Amino acid sequence: MRCDFSGRVALVTGATGEIGAGVAAALLDQGATVWAVDLRPPPRVPGVAAERERFVQADITDAGAVADLVARIAAEDGGPDLVVNAAGGPGSVRTPVDEVRDEDWARVVALNLDAAFYVCREATRALKRQRRPGSIVNISSGAGRTYSRTGVQAYASAKAGVIGLTRQLARELGPFGIRVNCVAPGLIRTNGTRDELARLPEERLREHLSGVALGRLGEADELVDPILFFLDDGARYVTGQTVSVDGGAVMLG
């Protein structure tokens, strides 16, 4: 998808992951200044404009660190006016609910829901101060729209919370010209899921794919264009929406 993000300033969390890295590279390629945020440095992508790429190593589950980050972006580049909350992760899988430890629950909810809230809050504060419109895209999951087959109670709950947060913020921030939308991936082949997929018995994988209309797993780069659509001014009358990118596993009216 070709867009013109020239003059725009983007904040992408989870920039080391394949989805976040793909979005950051696409935004750079299409003219944006991109602040890539993660606990680990993202891979360098050949062919993108390095002079418009900023990397910050930060823990976005720390509200103070997020406030400092957005204040720095505003001071140095006047943004962000585009935000992608791509950070997240399921934690342990297939743990019975009666064996889930408090600290494991809290860690997964902090990464997947609390961090998204902190980023949305600080970006909103910056946009309101500057009286600028903006676009925020949150990343949920098919587990947040239905359930997970891998027993990730905290992850499914947090990702459902991300969808609720998206709707609520879209309603609240619409009068300020700030759009908030959400993408809910299905089972996507990434570095984070390849080991789990390799351990999955063949019959379990076939069972999963039987519920996917397109009959295959998704690839990380297939998330990029739906995210860019929400960020682009071509979607300027779209807010509060969650789109499943899952090959037709979840079909909601």
Contact 166, 147 (CB under 8 A): no
To the query of whether residue 118 is one of the catalytic residues in this protein, the response is no
* Residue for token pair 């590279």: 25
User: With contact defined as beta carbons under 8 Å apart, do 94 and 156 qualify?
Assistant: no
Instruction: Give which of 187, 182, 191 is closest to 246, Cα–Cα.
Output: 187
Q: How far is CA 30 from CA 9, 16, 23, in A?
A: 12, 19, 11
The tokens describing 215, both together, are: 């009959």
Structure token digits, residue 93: 């899988």
DSSP run (H or E) holding 49? none
Q: How far apart are the first and last CA of the chain?
A: 25
CB-CB contact of 187 with 217 (8 Å): yes
Alpha carbon distance 27, 194 (integer Å): 26
Which residues does residue 244 pair with via DSSP β-bridges, in sequence order? 184
Q: How many whole angstroms separate alpha carbon 66 and alpha carbon 62?
A: 6
Q: Exactly one of 118, 147, 155, 237 is catalytic; which is it? A: 155
Any residues with CB less than 8 A from the CB of 21 and at least 6 apart, and which? Answer: 15, 36, 42, 43, 45
Residues annotated as catalytic are: 155
